[in-house]
Chain A
Amino acid sequence: MTLKEIACRNLLRRKAKAAFVLAGLVVGVATVVAIISFVETMTGDINKKLEKYGANILIVPKTENLSLTYGGISLGGVSFEMKAINESDLSRVEAIKNSQNVAALGPLVLGVLEINLKKVLMAGVDFQASKILKPWWQVEGTVPGESGILLGAEAARLLNLTPGQSVTVKGHLLKVSGILRPTGSQDDQLVFTRLKTAQSILGKKGQISMAEVAALCKDCPITEMVRQISEAIPGAKVMAIQQVVKGRMEMLSQFKKFSIGISGVVLLIGSLVVLVTMMGSVRERTEEIGIFRAIGFRKSHVMKIILLEAGIISGLAGVLGYLLGLGATQIATRFFHQGQPVSIPLNIELAAGALILSMVIGIVSSIYPATLAARLDPNDALRAL
């Protein structure tokens, strides 16, 4: 007969009580595992989507002048007379170490033109890349061909142009193919056309004013991407759009904090279930504990029996809780992916963490009941019957 055997026998005898404690811990652990797995999966998913849609790195020409514009308002005149970047230099970005992290590279050429007696800013862009860099664009009409232009909402209003109408710009006949729905950004005031068309009209063949990059930064920090692109194009200034990056990180961080808070509450409830059930169990076993003490068990022996019982149940709860949590994550992520099966890999660290967490909670919650049991006076315990 060993203390472990006594603990196991008691658990088998009081199956309902053991099952109750087990259920409490399993639900707690499963909830934590499900939340962590779900958050990890969704975070990765959200991060990927966020990084894929919208630029987070800008490549601009190096300049010695400070910017005279703020929030779209220019003070002291706008100057575009800065050194341009060679379009051919952009191909070097494809050769950087983390080129697979570049989701989209969108060159941009800018110039001021006069249309219908009004000065407007023309932007030559790669409309394919714009699908990733500017996913919020909604075009009423079509994306322009070689001789077409796409007007920002405000530009269309001020120029009094509608789709189908044509304008002549520096000898080039351009047809309005579509109008952007209002974006609330400076894009509303621009006239867009294909990069080659704009380069031809503006007399900037082979040159670009800037480039936008959508970088996937899950496995590679954005600073490293900026460094690699800077090395590839030494004549350009490469910078991360801090607000974009930090905004995303802040959002994901809030999401994670919330999930940790919920997990903490669930675990607290689980530990209270263990505590209350074990206290009840100790009270029911007053006679038994009295016998143990009377025949010479030390306090440490009695405590060991109670803690062994808690350890066995919580170990089992850790394993079952992990598996249940994983299953719940599968169901939840399938729901968010419109019924598509989602592969959630077995996370050894999470499994080990779930087991350890469950055992720590089970054993720590049982310390007080175990102490009470150990302190039972054998004479009082036996006389109480």
Chain B
Amino acid sequence: MSTIVGKDLTKQYGYDDSTVYAIKEVNFRINTGEFVSIMGESGAGKSTILSIMGAMNAPSSGKLVVDDIDIYDLGKEQRADFRREFLGFIFQSFHLIPYLTVLENVMLPLTTVKISRKEKSRMAGDALKWVGLEDKRGRLPSQISGGEKERVAIARAIVNDPPILLADEPTGNLDTKTSGEIMALLKRLNTEGTTVIMVTHSVECSSAAQRVLHVTDGQVYEPN
């Protein structure tokens, strides 16, 4: 995995007079191992860009090229395979499965991988250890705090060692102290070679990134 390139990406909703552009002719380039923050006001188009990067939201026009592969030229099932193997997701509201334990939630991306249960459990255990929650493996999501849920979400995102991590407002629901802990984890991930792309409206969190892309009214700007 080398670069993620967005070329003239446009996402519109509606037709003719009622057309609304979430993003319009957006261009960007993110290199391997970078920590990039995408900032902007609510409704600016940040999450739209992230979901397009995550191969979950086909643009109305334009291309998303990863390692010379036009992602949206692939079929839906191939894009699912791409997400499973190359992407890790941290969602805005954690989105943990409530009836699975912490360990099982972390194992979820490995469900369809053809390895033994023992190996899956070991990998999930390692991911939990990395985020410092190994002692909470048997708990249900309802039995842990918000910060711990975010850590579990990070563990789930990295369990299969993806080269790219996409994080949508990872500290949105957390207090300052916990936010700092989460940002530290993301920085550590990036140090270990993972490309981290994070959407945030927090200036403090954004400062941890190497680059900041600003999104305003569907347009991307990168201050020098």
Q: Which of A4-12, A175-183, A194-202, A347-355 participates in binding chain B?
A: A4-12
Verify A299–B76 contact, CB threshold 8 A. yes
Verify A294–B56 contact, CB threshold 8 A. yes
Give B18-68 interface residues, CB cut-off 8 Å to A: 47, 51, 54, 56-57
Verify B91–A298 contact, CB threshold 8 A. no
Verify B112–A379 contact, CB threshold 8 A. no
Interface status of A297 (Cβ within 8 A of chain B): yes
CB-defined contacts of A187 to chain B, threshold 8 Å = none
Interface of A is mostly: helix
**Given A9-B99, A378-B56, A385 and B93 touching (CB < 8 A)?**
yes
The size of the chain A interface, using a CB distance under 8 A, is 29
Q: Which of A93-101, A247-255, A285-293 participates in binding chain B?
A: A285-293
CB-defined contacts of B77 to chain A, threshold 8 Å = 298-300
**Given A1-B111, A299-B76, A299-B77, A291 and B97 touching (CB < 8 A)?**
yes
Give 1 or 0 for each of B90-123: 1 = CB within 8 Å of chain A CB.
Answer: 0101010111100010011111100001001000
CB-defined contacts of A288 to chain B, threshold 8 Å = 97
Interface status of B83 (Cβ within 8 A of chain A): yes
Give 1 or 0 for each of A52-72: 1 = CB within 8 Å of chain B CB.
Answer: 000000000000000000000
Interface status of B81 (Cβ within 8 A of chain A): yes
CB-defined contacts of A13 to chain B, threshold 8 Å = 98-99
Residue of A nearest to B168 (CB): A382
Give 1 or 0 for each of A1-36: 1 = CB within 8 Å of chain B CB.
Answer: 111011001101100000000000000000000000
Verify B95–A287 contact, CB threshold 8 A. yes
Verify B57–A379 contact, CB threshold 8 A. yes
Interface of B is mostly: helix
**Nearest CB of chain A from residue B114's CB, rounded to whole Å:** 11
Interface status of A172 (Cβ within 8 A of chain B): no
Interface status of B80 (Cβ within 8 A of chain A): yes
Partner of A296, one of B57, B91, B100, B112: B112
Task: Please indicate which of the listed interface residues B57, B80, B87 has the most CB atoms of chain A within 10 Å of its own CB.
Answer: B80
**Nearest CB of chain A from residue B102's CB, rounded to whole Å:** 12
Verify B83–A295 contact, CB threshold 8 A. yes
Give 1 or 0 for each of A132-166: 1 = CB within 8 Å of chain B CB.
Answer: 00000000000000000000000000000000000
A383 to B108, CA, bound (A): 20
Give A261-291 interface residues, CB cut-off 8 Å to B: 287-288, 290-291
Task: Please indicate which of the listed interface residues B81, B89, B97 has the most CB atoms of chain A within 10 Å of its own CB.
Answer: B97
Interface status of A301 (Cβ within 8 A of chain B): yes
Partner of A2, one of B89, B98, B117: B117
CB-defined contacts of A6 to chain B, threshold 8 Å = 100, 111
What are 17 A-B interface contacts by the 8 Å CB criterion? A1-B108, A3-B112, A6-B111, A9-B104, A13-B99, A291-B91, A294-B54, A295-B83, A295-B89, A296-B84, A296-B109, A297-B112, A299-B76, A377-B56, A378-B56, A379-B56, A385-B93
